[in-house]
Amino acid sequence: MQNQWLAIKQLDKQFKEWQAVNAKYKRPRAGWVKTIRVALSMTAEQLASKVGVKGGRISQLEKAEIEDAVTLGALRKVAEALNCELVYALVPKNSLTLGNIIKRRAEQIAEEKINTVAHLMSLEAQALSKEALTEQKHALTKQLTENFNKSLWVNNESVQGSVVLFNAKKKQHPSKIAKSLENSLLRK
C-alpha cells in the first residue's frame, strides 16, 4: 500500500505541471492540426501527401479533431508529418490530485454507509448523536483511504441494494441488522 501511495504522489507531482500547461494553453478553436498546418503555410493537400492520404482526408481529420472524434493513431501520423510530437495525458480536473479523488470517493462511501446504518438504528430508537455520526464518518473515511482498493469504485447502488437484501433474508431485530451491516460494510 505504501508503494501505491508513493506512485500516486509521484503522478500527482507530474499532474500539477500538466495542469498548469493545460490551463495556460487550451486547444485552439481550429484544432492543433489546422492551426499548425496554417502556421507552416502548408495546404491540406500538401499535408495529405506527406501523410500518404488523399487531400480531403486532412479536412475530415481537422473537423474530427474539433469534434473529439479523431483517433490517437491518426493524430500521431499527422504530427509526424508536421515534424511534431503528439503529447497525450489524462490529468485530474480542477487542480485535483489522485489523492483528492480517492479521499472524495472514500468520503462519499463513508457518508452513504454511515447514513444507512444510522437510519436503521433510528428505526429502533437507537439513533446516534450528530457528533458520533461525524466521528464514525471520519474514521471510516480514514480507513477507506488508507486501505483503498478496487472496491472503492464499486457502484453505490450495490450498498443500498445490500441493505434491502440483507433485511429481507434475515428476520432479525433491526439493531442486530444495523450492527451486522455496519460490520460487513467496514470489512469491504
Q: Angle 55-66/72-81 helices, nearest 10 degrees?
A: 120
In CATH, the architecture of 2-81 is Orthogonal Bundle (1.10)
pLDDT for the residue 172:
45
Nearest to 136 by CA among 163, 156, 152, 116: 116
132 vs 84, more confident: 84
Confidence of residue 48 (pLDDT cuts 50, 70, 90): very high
Tens digits of per-residue pLDDT, 129-178?
A: 888 888 889 999 999 988 888 888 987 544 443 333 333 334 444 445 44
For the chain, which residues make up each domain, given as ranges? 2-81, 97-187
Chain-centroid distance of CA 108 in Å reads 14
Is the pLDDT score of 66 beyond 80? yes
The percent of residues above 90 in pLDDT, for the chain, comes to 40
Cα separation, 79 vs 55, in Å, equals: 16
pLDDT for the residue 164:
35
pLDDT for the residue 163:
39
179 vs 57, more confident: 57
Q: Answer yes or no: are the C-beta atoms of 166 and 180 closer than 8 Å.
A: yes
165 vs 58, more confident: 58
Is the pLDDT score of 102 beyond 50? yes
Confidence of residue 188 (pLDDT cuts 50, 70, 90): very low
